[in-house]
Amino acid sequence: MLDAHQSEEFSSAVVALIKQARQEKGWSQATLAGKAGVSRSGVTMVENGDRRPTLYFCHAVARALGQDLWEFVQKAEHGS
């Protein structure tokens, strides 16, 4: 079980990996939001650290990026 600090670090790592994947595709936050079926403001708030991502959000965004959420989770756990 993760404590609050570890949970925050893990969440930040997953978000950083998702943001990197979005940027590598050359997508704006609005483009990603549209493809994932989430709000643009939600993407902005998550990427800026103003909101913690839900599991639904991470799954939808990873799927829109053509990647598996599990890959992001594994990378985040190992600090990659």
pTM of the prediction? 0.84
- 32 touches 72 (CB < 8 A): no
Full residue range of the structural domain in which residue 20 is found: 5-9+11-78
- Average pLDDT for residues 5-27, to the nearest whole number? 88
The CATH number of whichever domain residue 30 belongs to comes to 1.10.260.40
Total domains present in the chain: 1
20-76: pLDDT as tens digits:
999 999 999 999 999 999 999 999 999 998 998 898 999 999 999 998 888 878 888
- 38 touches 30 (CB < 8 A): no
- 14 touches 20 (CB < 8 A): no
